[in-house]
């Protein structure tokens, strides 16, 4: 892997980590989903999975939770985003589709944690735990939806132009669908 690309990935991990620490006071309000979808749009699957692995390790070390019952579901949940983005969403850059995905994923993320938390804490009743976690899942779903709708297209343009400016190759989509309009170019770009 070229040095420039590794530096871009390292900067991406840093951005992912710092934004989460800045927003840690607000439960489940973050840009993590937006950024992982964004990075999945321009980096390869392998690069995105490495980025997520490093992010989870750094986050766990910093938060003092180097605990397999916390790290494993977090790694599984965030790793599932680029896989689904490629396999199910076919690397779409349509903000509406990505926002719907982000909304649904707010719930999926919480559900991935449930078995691990139940084992770790000894909770033996599923439904009360799910109901207690539901408000936090709703907050994450709304946060994901709003941030993707508002910020995905401008951040995509900035990241894409940065990659091109430094001469790095990335798979630029030939056609972008934004709502009902079909256009060539980047999301939100006027033709």
- Assess whether pLDDT exceeds 80 at residue 140: yes
In the chain, what's the furthest Cα-to-Cα distance?
A: 57
Q: Please compute the mean of the pLDDT values over residues 97-112 and round it to a whole number.
A: 95
CA dihedral 72, 70, 84, 179 (to 10 degrees): -170
Residue 66: pLDDT band (50, 70, 90) is confident
Which candidate, 154, 167, 152, places its Cα nearest to that of 97?
152
Residue 74 is predicted with a pLDDT of 94
- 33-37, 50-54, 58-62, 145-149 — which is least confidently predicted? 58-62
> Which residues, including other chains, have CB under 8 Å from residue 83's CB and lie 6 or more apart?
45
The pair of structure tokens assigned to 41 is 């749009």
The model's confidence at residue 173, banded by pLDDT at 50, 70 and 90, is low
In angstroms, rounded to a whole number, what is the distance separating the alpha carbons of residues 89 and 22? 30
Q: Tell the CATH topology of 3-172.
A: Arp2/3 complex 21 kDa subunit ARPC3 (1.10.1760)
Q: What is the pLDDT of residue 170?
A: 65
Question: Mean pLDDT, the chain, as a whole number?
Answer: 86
Is the pLDDT at 183 greater than 50? The verdict is no
Task: Write down the pLDDT at residue 79.
Answer: 97
Band (pLDDT 50/70/90 cuts) for residue 166 is: confident
- Is pLDDT of 181 > 90? no
Domains of the chain: which residue ranges? 3-172
The better pLDDT of the pair 128, 151 is held by 151
Give the separation between CA 189 and CA 19, rounded to whole angstroms. 26
Say yes or no to pLDDT of 191 above 70: no
């Amino acid at each position: 892997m070229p040095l420039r690309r590794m530096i871009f990935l390292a900067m991406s991990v840093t951005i992912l980590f710092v934004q989460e620490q800045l927003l840690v006071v607000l439960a489940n309000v973050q840009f993590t989903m937006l950024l992982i979808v964004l990075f999945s749009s321009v980096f390869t699957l392998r690069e995105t999975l490495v980025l997520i692995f490093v992010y989870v390790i750094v986050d766990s070390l910093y938060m003092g939770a180097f605990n397999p019952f916390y790290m494993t579901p977090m790694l599984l949940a965030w790793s599932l985003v680029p896989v689904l983005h490629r396999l199910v969403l076919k690397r779409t850059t349509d903000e509406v589709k990505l926002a719907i995905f982000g909304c649904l994923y707010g719930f999926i993320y919480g559900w991935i944690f449930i078995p691990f938390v139940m084992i770790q804490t000894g909770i033996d009743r599923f439904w009360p735990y799910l109901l207690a976690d539901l408000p936090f899942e709703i907050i994450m779903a709304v946060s994901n939806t709003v941030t993707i709708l508002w910020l995905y297209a401008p951040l995509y343009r900035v990241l894409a132009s940065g990659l091109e400016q430094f001469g790095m190759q990335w798979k630029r989509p030939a056609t972008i669908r934004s709502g009902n309009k079909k256009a060539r170019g980047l999301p939100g770009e006027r033709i």
